């Protein structure tokens, strides 16, 4: 096995890629094999990422040379504390989602099950690749692998899904092309595409308007991809109209991985000194983040569909992480990184609960939550936990990252950001307690009329009709993760995240 | 005037890229027809590809194939004699990406056409509002 562990970074990308191919072929012969094959690939990747993270913790940064070519010429995969941690959580979230998707995929895709699993695996291939690559151009290619499969997954859905998918595609392509343009300018300036190599050459060229342009193009492109506030228009519709298993895959992962990419490009390619001291973009980006938080929260209030409400919460959460990062101090950045992993789990939690409810009711309108606590007690219990975490109630993990973000804001003296976080938490209270109120107190409805008296014996009172077993398993594991991440957040921050931050922050 | 003229002429490849990007963005934002939007997207992507291809070119340079390259250790290679092949190779990948994007976009456009019977965005919007009167929202 000694030989195998050396190749762990390659395994993480190669296994889902090959599994996607195998699933596509096997699908022609027996579509029942698609699910177990995908789960097997998911398990391998989870194991590999945990192993890799363990290695990073003991040995420090791991650099894997693809094909054995040394860095400036060849492509490298580079795993440090930052992406090692995020990789573990992302593989776990993807795996749980895969397990949960079984019934829902059979129901929603029927004869396209194989295509769904193949796209699923390709999508996570792209995300894992983005997380571990150390090459600026390679990042673009993997970005597009993840995005293209994302467009297709969203477009599979019925009704308005294809229109939302196409809008997402047009916006996403603008984002990716801007990033590619930025990388092109960096290549003209430095003659290199390796992130660490570029970072070594760039400081000799300061000050240069071309570097500033490259920085703005790269950041602008990634802002489109992560749906930062004025560029968020594609997200709510895409996540609402997508099949519910797809929303619970795409929503927790895409935006978080893109925020990681922003951190990686800002810190590793352009370096902390350039991004925070040489150019004055920190202030404007912070205000964009504040607008995202307040705007996303307020628009979530006006939604009458559960998934759309959650999608707007995702828009607000993007603001949390972008804002925390651009505070530029230790607490803010720690909070941003911690929030990436916490938010991935929280978003998975609430979107999975929404998917479970959609399976049973066939609808995700808030009004269809009536009587849901009696009908799906476990699912709703998990949703309450996810809601509390998004609000930021201890001991769920959401509290701790919000704590770091707020203390970072206070430390930086940025009152606007602190206020935005508090407003958004209060709005989340309203949002989720409205759901809980409908679910708990409003009477169960059948056919649009509340039943004051049972029409037939046992007809008026809803019977317990829980989510499918696989989904329940994923939901309960996610709930457990929410608590575990909360309990261990101190250790995660001191032992992992502080190692990942730039040395200047101390 | 002369400086602006020389600026445009000396860096004409960049200006071509900027103009193409502007055309592409205009089509994506201003056109109501979805296929025109997709064409705009493709022009936008092609502009970036042109940028990469143009930066690899050098005046008076030739194809990067080394004559007498094998076994002749004394043979000197002057990088200035050959165009830079790396950006061109990168663009092979980018072209594949853009073709794949175009394919997915057209497939989605077909689905939209089958569902709504039109590719005009305003007509689709009308049908959406007609279909679901209780679900109108500001974001469209």
Residue B69: inside a domain, yes or no?
Answer: no
* Contact of A135 with A75, CB cutoff 8 Å: yes
State residue A462's pLDDT score: 59
| A360-380 confidence digits (pLDDT tens) | 887 778 877 887 788 888 888
Token pair 């929260």 in the structure block, residue? A297
Using a CB-CB distance cutoff of 8 angstroms, which residues of chain A are in contact with residue B44? 173-174, 177
Interfacial A residues in 215-254 facing B (CB < 8 Å): 233, 236-237
Residue B74 lies in a domain: no
Smallest CA–CA distance from B127 into chain A, residue: A160
Q: What is the pLDDT of residue B75?
A: 61
Is any Cβ of chain B less than 8 angstroms from the Cβ of A387? Answer: no
pLDDT value, residue A444: 62
**Cα separation of A222 and A136, whole Å?**
13
The pLDDT-based confidence of B1 (bands split at 50, 70, 90) is: low
Beta carbons of A178 and A220 less than 8 angstroms apart: yes
Look at residue B130 and tell me if it is in a domain.
Answer: yes
Q: Which residue ranges of chain A lie beneath pLDDT 50?
A: 1, 447-460
Min distance A337 CA to chain B CA atoms (Å):
30
Position B62 scores a pLDDT of: 81
**Which residue shows structure tokens 């913790």?**
A57
Interface with B, mutate which of A75, A180, A229 (most B CBs under 10 A): A180
Q: What is the chain B residue with the closest CA to A303?
A: B137
What tens digit of pLDDT does each residue of B45-78 get? 999 999 999 988 888 888 887 766 565 555 667 7
Interchain contact, A180 vs B124, CB within 8 Å: no
CA nearest to B101, candidates B46, B56, B53: B46
Chain B neighbors of A170, CB-CB under 8 A:
28, 37-38, 41, 105
Q: Quick check: A35 contacting B, CB < 8 Å?
A: no
pLDDT of residue B99: 95
Check CB contact of A162 with chain B, cutoff 8 Å: yes
Structural domain span for residue B121: 2-60+79-135
Residues of A in contact with B111 (CB under 8 A): 155, 162
- What pLDDT does A446 receive? 54
The per-residue pLDDT for B59 is: 82
| C-beta atoms of A180 and B48 within 8 A | yes
In a domain, B73, yes or no: no
Which two structure tokens, joined as six digits, stand for B16? 């071509």
Q: How is residue B88 written in tokens?
A: 């061109």
- Please list every residue in chain A whose beta carbon sits closer than 8 Å to the beta carbon of residue B45: 173, 177
pLDDT in tens, B77-134: 777 788 888 999 999 999 999 999 999 999 999 999 998 888 888 888 888 887 765 4
- In angstroms, the separation between the Cα of residue A104 and the nearest Cα of chain B is 22
Min Cα distance B97 → chain A (Å) is: 7
Closest residue, chain A, to B56 (C-alpha):
A188
Residue B136 pLDDT exceeds 70: no
What is the separation, in whole angstroms, between the first and last Cα of chain B? 47
> A367: distance to nearest CA of chain B, Å?
13
- pLDDT surpasses 50 at B137: no
When CB atoms are compared, the residue of B44, B87, B111 closest to A162 is: B111
For chain A, the structural domain boundaries read 280-447+460-506
A308 touches chain B (CB under 8 A): yes
Task: Please list, residue by residue across A451-479, b when 16 or more beta carbons sit within 10 angstroms of its beta carbon and e when fewer do.
Answer: beeeeeeeebebeeeebbebbbebbebbb
Domain CATH for B86 = 1.10.287.3510
* Domains: count for chain B: 1
Indicate yes or no: CB of B109 within 8 angstroms of CB of A184: no
- Show Cβ contacts of residue A218 under 8 Å, excluding neighbours closer than 6 positions: A178, A179, A182, A183, A186, A265, A269
Preferred mutation among B84, B137, B140 to probe A, highest tally of A CBs within 10 A: B137
Instruction: Determine the distance in angstroms separating the CA of A184 from the nearest CA of chain B, rounded to an integer.
Output: 6
pLDDT number for residue B72 = 56
Token digits of residue A30:
């027996």
Return the pLDDT at B57.
Answer: 84
CB of A184 less than 8 A from some CB of B: yes
pLDDT in tens, B11-41: 888 889 999 999 999 999 999 999 999 999 9
> Which segments of A395-479 are extended strands (E)?
445-446, 449-450
Contact across the interface for A166 and B107, Cβ inside 8 Å:
no
**Best residue of B23, B47, B111, B124 to probe chain A, by most A CBs closer than 10 Å:** B111
Shortest CB distance from A184 goes to which of B52, B112, B124?
B52
Per-residue pLDDT, A458: 42
Residue B65 lies in a domain: no
Is A308 in contact with B137 (Cβ distance < 8 A)? Answer: yes
Residue B33, classed as helix, strand or coil, is: strand
């Amino acid at each position: 096995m000694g030989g195998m562990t050396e190749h762990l970074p390659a395994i993480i990308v190669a296994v889902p890629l090959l599994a996607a191919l195998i699933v596509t072929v096997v699908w022609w012969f027996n579509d029942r094999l698609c699910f177990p094959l995908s789960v097997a690939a998911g398990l391998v990747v989870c194991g590999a990422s945990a192993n890799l993270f363990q290695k990073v913790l003991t040995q420090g940064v791991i650099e894997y040379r693809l094909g054995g070519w040394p860095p400036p010429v060849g492509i490298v995969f580079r795993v440090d504390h930052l992406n090692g941690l995020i990789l573990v959580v992302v593989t776990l979230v993807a795996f749980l989602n895969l397990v949960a998707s079984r019934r829902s995929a059979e129901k929603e895709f029927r004869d396209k099950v194989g295509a769904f699993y193949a796209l699923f695996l390709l999508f996570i291939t792209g995300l894992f690749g983005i997380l571990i690559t150390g090459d600026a151009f390679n990042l673009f290619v993997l970005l597009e692998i993840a995005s293209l499969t994302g467009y297709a997954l969203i477009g599979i859905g019925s009704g308005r899904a294809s229109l939302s998918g196409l809008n997402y595609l047009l916006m996403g392509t603008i984002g990716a092309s801007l990033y590619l343009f930025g990388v092109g300018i960096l290549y003209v300036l430095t003659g290199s595409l390796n992130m660490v190599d570029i970072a070594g050459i760039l400081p000799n060229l300061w000050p240069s308007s071309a570097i500033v342009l490259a920085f703005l193009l790269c950041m602008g492109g990634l802002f489109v991809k992560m749906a930062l506030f004025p560029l968020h228009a594609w997200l709510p519709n895409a996540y609402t109209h997508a099949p519910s298993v797809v929303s619970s895959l795409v929503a927790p992962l895409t935006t978080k991985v893109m925020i990681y990419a922003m951190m990686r490009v800002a810190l590793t390619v352009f370096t902390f000194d350039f991004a925070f001291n040489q150019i004055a973009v920190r202030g404007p980006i912070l205000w964009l983040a504040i607008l995202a938080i307040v705007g996303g929260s307020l628009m979530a209030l006006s939604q009458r569909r559960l998934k759309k409400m959650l999608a707007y919460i995702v828009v607000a959460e993007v603001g949390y992480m972008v804002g925390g990062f651009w505070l530029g101090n230790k607490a803010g950045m720690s909070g941003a990184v911690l929030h990436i992993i916490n938010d991935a789990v929280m978003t998975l939690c609430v979107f999975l609960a929404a998917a479970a409810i959609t399976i049973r009711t066939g609808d995700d309108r808030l009004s269809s939550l009536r009587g849901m606590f009696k009908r799906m007690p476990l699912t709703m219990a998990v949703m309450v936990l996810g809601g509390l975490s998004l609000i930021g109630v201890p001991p769920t993990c959401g509290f701790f990252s919000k704590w770091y973000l707020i203390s970072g804001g206070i430390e930086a003296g940025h009152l606007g950001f602190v206020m935005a976080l508090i407003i958004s938490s209060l709005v989340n209270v309203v949002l989720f307690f409205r759901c809980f109120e409908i679910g708990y107190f409003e009477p169960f409805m059948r056919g649009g009329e509340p039943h004051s008296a049972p029409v037939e014996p046992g007809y008026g009172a809803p019977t317990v009709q829980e989510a499918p077993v696989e989904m329940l398993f994923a939901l309960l594991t996610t709930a457990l993760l929410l608590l575990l991440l909360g309990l261990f957040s101190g250790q995660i921050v001191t032992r992992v995240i502080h190692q990942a931050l730039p040395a200047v922050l101390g | 005037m002369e400086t602006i003229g020389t600026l445009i002429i000396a860096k004409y490849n960049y200006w071509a890229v900027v103009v193409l990007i502007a055309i592409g963005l205009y089509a994506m934002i201003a056109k109501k027809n979805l296929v025109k939007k997709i064409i705009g997207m493709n022009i936008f992507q092609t502009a970036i590809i042109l940028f990469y291809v143009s930066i690899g070119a050098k005046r008076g340079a030739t194809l990067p194939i080394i004559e007498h390259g094998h076994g002749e250790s004394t043979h000197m290679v002057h990088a200035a004699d050959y165009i830079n092949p790396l950006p061109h190779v990168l663009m092979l990948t980018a072209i594949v990406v853009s073709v794949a994007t175009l394919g997915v976009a057209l497939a989605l456009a077909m689905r939209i056409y089958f569902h709504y019977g039109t590719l005009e965005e305003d007509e689709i919007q009308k049908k959406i509002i007609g279909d679901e009167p209780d679900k109108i929202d500001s974001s469209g």
